[in-house]
Amino acid sequence: MADGSSLVNLGEISKPATVLIEKISDALGGAFRPFQIRRVAKAEADAKMIEAVAQVEISELQKRALQRFVVEEGRRQDNIEAITAKALPGVGDTADPSKIDDDWITNFFDKCRLISNDEMQALWAQILSGEANSPGKYSKRTVDYLASLDKSDALLFRALCGFGWYIGQVSPLVFDTEHELYKTAGIGFTELTHLDNIGLIRFESLAGFQVTKLGKRVRLGYYGAVVELEFASETPKTR
């Protein structure tokens, strides 16, 4: 487990959030200790190393390569820490991030360390907090697929998920692609067709959406809120 004394005091954060920080640090072999003072000291040491190496007889090309390496790694480190910071508020009080697989964390940050856009970082942070709350929720394949998406596709899919209801599984419900509610969110027939074409959703505009074998009463979930529906008939049927 990472040495807790190496972490910068973040104020009042939950125990699971602290565990997530330490878990990430351990999984990445100590290369990532987010929000800690020693990162600044290491950066200064790297700069001095470059200065010392520069005094040795090496080519100008090698000097520039060393300088670029330090700058690029600094940016990647900032991205990793920014995504982690955005994920912390979404980690629930009952979460157990210690159960997250180390290989999953390594793969996750390998894919997102180049993400500097604030909106995309927020999307990656949601994946991280979701995995912390329910270890095993997101497969490596899901993470890899997210990494392959363009920013516009990822944000479009995120907007669609805003209409997701839990009906045995999460299902985004779009009743009328011409309705202003969906248009305001940037969701329309063209956008849904595009998401279908790239394999993110299955969109069948003619067939519609059906749920079978429902009783008279059914409980649905929407972002943690529970909605109870009661139908007129006791006979299970397609709704």
* Together in a domain, 17 and 79: yes
Q: Count up the domains in the chain and report the number.
A: 2
pLDDT tens over the chain, length 239 residues: 444 333 334 555 678 888 888 888 888 765 455 444 455 556 666 666 666 655 555 677 777 777 777 777 778 888 888 899 899 888 888 889 999 999 999 999 999 888 888 888 988 998 899 899 989 888 888 888 888 888 888 888 888 888 887 776 677 888 888 889 988 888 988 988 888 887 777 777 655 556 666 667 777 777 667 888 777 766 555 54
Residue 53 lies in a domain: yes
* Together in a domain, 167 and 215: yes
* Together in a domain, 208 and 234: yes
Residue 187 lies in a domain: yes
pLDDT given for residue 7 in this prediction:
35
pLDDT given for residue 45 in this prediction:
64
> Domain of 111?
1-148
Residue 155 lies in a domain: no
* Together in a domain, 69 and 13: yes
pLDDT given for residue 132 in this prediction:
92
Domain end, chosen from 148, 172, 194, is at 148
Residue 158 lies in a domain: no
The closest of 104, 171, 117, 116 to 144, measured between CA atoms, is 104
* Together in a domain, 174 and 133: no
Residue 154 lies in a domain: no
pLDDT given for residue 5 in this prediction:
36
Residue 157 lies in a domain: no
In angstroms, what CA-CA distances link 45 with 68, 77, 79, 133? 15, 16, 21, 37
* Together in a domain, 136 and 183: no
* Together in a domain, 168 and 114: no
Domain end, chosen from 89, 119, 148, is at 148
Residue 236 lies in a domain: yes
* Together in a domain, 16 and 127: yes
Partnered with residue 229 across adjacent β-strands are: 218
* Together in a domain, 129 and 51: yes
Domain end, chosen from 92, 121, 148, is at 148
* Together in a domain, 105 and 61: yes
Residue 88 in 3-state DSSP?
helix
* Together in a domain, 212 and 237: yes
Task: Report long-range pairs for 207-211 (Cβ below 8 Å, ≥24 apart).
Answer: 209/171, 209/173, 210/238, 210/239, 211/167, 211/168, 211/238, 211/239
pLDDT given for residue 53 in this prediction:
59
The closest of 21, 82, 72, 12 to 46, measured between CA atoms, is 72
pLDDT given for residue 107 in this prediction:
92
* Together in a domain, 40 and 136: yes
